Amino acid sequence: MGLQGDVGTHLWLTRGMAARVGVSLDAVLHEGTLTRADFAGMVTRCRSCSQPADCLAFQTAGGAACAEAPDYCANRALLAELQDLG
């Protein structure tokens, strides 16, 4: 596995990306739709991302929730699944 980013940074990037696309990680964790292991996997995938600055810029762009995460997001598919459940 390649170089991974800081856990704390990517924890917040993962949570922020979910919020930006309208997914409440707290809610899906509470409902059991997403397990803690699933969430840990999301953070791990995020840590392998080569574009954290782009991710942060996307998240801070403002405006309403976006329809989907950017193509470069390692959690894009899972976030889309969670959107469909909501």
Q: What's the pLDDT score for residue 2?
A: 52
**Residue 2 included in any domain:** no
**Residue 48 included in any domain:** yes
**Residue 40 included in any domain:** yes
Q: Return the axis-axis angle of helices 7-20 and 52-59, rounded to nearest 10°.
A: 40
| pLDDT grade for 1, boundaries at 50, 70 and 90 | very low
**Residue 58 included in any domain:** yes
Q: Tens digit of pLDDT for each residue in 22-75?
A: 999 999 999 999 999 999 999 999 999 989 999 999 998 877 778 899 999 999
Distance in angstroms (rounded) separating the CA atoms of residues 48 and 4: 5
Distance in angstroms (rounded) separating the CA atoms of residues 60 and 49: 18
Q: Which domain holds residue 72?
A: 7-85
Q: What's the pLDDT score for residue 17?
A: 95
Residue scoring higher pLDDT (57 or 85): 57
Q: What's the pLDDT score for residue 84?
A: 86
Helix (H), strand (E) counts: the chain: 5, 0
- Does the predicted model carry a pTM greater than 0.75? yes
**Residue 1 included in any domain:** no
Q: How many domains does the chain have?
A: 1
Q: What's the pLDDT score for residue 28?
A: 96
Chain-centre distance for alpha carbon 84: 15
Per-residue DSSP letter, 63 = S
